[in-house]
């Protein structure tokens, strides 16, 4: 990951969205939560740095593919999608679930964050931590 994350705002999942933003921010990353992806100011100052784009809703990644074609300018983004069944990404065969959820709630989200910390994922400090 490049240390920059754009989280697409979803008012229905606002509490979880800010838990996600806090996790990335607390791991030394640059984070923006934005409701309108096509805002030119954000495009010129942040999106040109090719952030990882994060979405959250109840649909599986495969059901949300129309949302995932976010930018008509054909800039390739790393995408991470949080849904009721898990965390999906476009990094390895599209779409690929990297973590399974039983439901989309705080406890499952924190279980995912614990897993990320153990694997040293999403941390700007790339030192390997031995458990």
Q: What DSSP string runs through 64-110? A: GHHHH---TT----EEEEEETTEEEESSSSSSEEEEE-SSSSHHHHH
Least confident of 2-16, 37-51, 64-78: 64-78
Tens of pLDDT along 36-67?
656 667 666 666 777 788 888 877 655 444 44
Query: In terms of pLDDT, which residue wins out, 124 or 10?
Result: 10
Query: In terms of pLDDT, which residue wins out, 8 or 21?
Result: 21
Query: In terms of pLDDT, which residue wins out, 16 or 77?
Result: 16
Query: In terms of pLDDT, which residue wins out, 72 or 105?
Result: 105
Count how many Cα atoms sit within 13 Å of the Cα of residue 74 in the half-sphere of its side chain.
0
Separation CA 20–CA 112 (nearest Å): 10
Across the chain, what does the average pLDDT equal? Answer: 77
């Amino acid at each position: 990951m490049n240390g920059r994350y754009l989280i697409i705002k979803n008012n229905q999942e606002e509490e979880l969205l800010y838990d996600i933003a806090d996790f990335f921010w607390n791991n030394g990353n640059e984070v923006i939560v934005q409701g309108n992806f096509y805002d030119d100011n954000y495009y010129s100052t942040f999106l040109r740095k090719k952030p990882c784009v994060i979405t959250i809703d109840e649909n599986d990644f495969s059901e949300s593919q129309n949302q995932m074609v976010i930018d008509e300018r054909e800039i390739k983004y790393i995408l991470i999608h949080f849904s009721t069944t898990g965390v999906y990404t476009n990094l390895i065969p599209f779409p690929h679930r990297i973590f399974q959820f039983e439901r989309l709630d705080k406890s499952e989200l924190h279980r995912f964050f614990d897993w990320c910390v153990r694997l040293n994922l999403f941390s700007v400090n790339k030192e390997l931590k031995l458990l």
